[in-house]
Amino acid sequence: MIKKNFFILAILAIILGVTSCKAPEDIVYLQDVGNDQRLEVADLSMIRIRPGDQLSIVVSSRNPELSAIFNLAVPYRYVGGTSFTPSGTNSQTAYFTVASDGTIDYPVFGAIQVSGMTRQELSKTIKDRIIYEDYIKDPIVTVDYANLTISVLGEVTNPGKYSISKDRITILEAISMSRDLTINGNRQDVLVLREYPDGSTQSYRVDLTQSGIMQSPVYYLQQNDVVYVSPNDQRRRQSRATGNTIMTPTFWLSITSTLCTVTTLIYTLSKK
């Protein structure tokens, strides 16, 4: 009977030890996606201009002198004074900052409402107005974002703030920019904080292991979004001094050894 109990205890200890040391589950993204499966995205949203954004707006044409009046002058400082050079004629770039009311103070036209527009919409608006008011017949208007960023924090390899260089960016691309989640990142619990123009902040939680993330309003990120990857249970335990002791191989080898010793001792004493 004692021999039987000994083997049961030993096997149980080994099973518990092996189970506790296995690799974390649910580390694969989009686990429910099959081969050649067409995935629908709920909102193919593009980044839209908001108050506080900085914009590079450059107008060019066959007549540089006419174009120059629509380009923001860049201050060029030198010993003894300051001069102004039209944007695009040197290596410097001047930016328009969107005011709290959603407007920019644009040369010749004055205040222009730009909040809520995409880059392409603003470019077309300025181009159409230049042509309509008969300033230039063949203007080329280029609009670029100058200061748009997102932040990726938590259990990622390289947390930090990243610049947005295109009109739309997915949460998966943002994670790629941070060099992926660590093995301790909880892929089923990723928090996204989004600021809205009215000053409010909305929180969203997404599961990277399921394709349903593509129907989330935060699948496509916006400027100033914060992506936070929560730690998994193993990382949470590691935050405590002895939190992960019970999950280590050394602990279970020690338990197994102790059980073997005690069982052997009992078995030996019982035979006397």
Query: Which range has the worst mean pLDDT, 54-63, 94-103, 124-133, 250-259?
Result: 250-259
Same domain, 87 and 222: no
Write the CATH number for 31. 3.10.560.10
Whether residue 12 is predicted with pLDDT greater than 60 in this model: the reply is no
Write the CATH number for 123. 3.30.1950.10
pTM: 0.72
Same domain, 41 and 156: yes
Same domain, 239 and 171: yes
pLDDT given at position 23: 45
Domain hosting 58: range is 54-145
pLDDT given at position 134: 95
For the chain, how far is it from start to end, CA to CA, in angstroms? 16
Long-range contacts of 168-174 (CB under 8 A, 24+ apart): 168/44, 168/45, 168/46, 168/47, 168/220, 169/47, 169/220, 169/221, 170/219, 170/220, 170/221, 171/206, 171/208, 171/213, 171/218, 171/219, 171/220, 171/221, 171/227, 172/29, 172/208, 174/150, 174/221, 174/227
List phi, psi (to 5°) of 264.
Answer: -60, -40
Same domain, 206 and 217: yes
pLDDT in tens, 125-140: 999 999 999 999 999 9
CA distance 212 to 231: 21
Same domain, 77 and 154: no
Query: Which range has the worst mean pLDDT, 6-20, 117-131, 161-175?
Result: 6-20
- Give the type of residue at 101: D
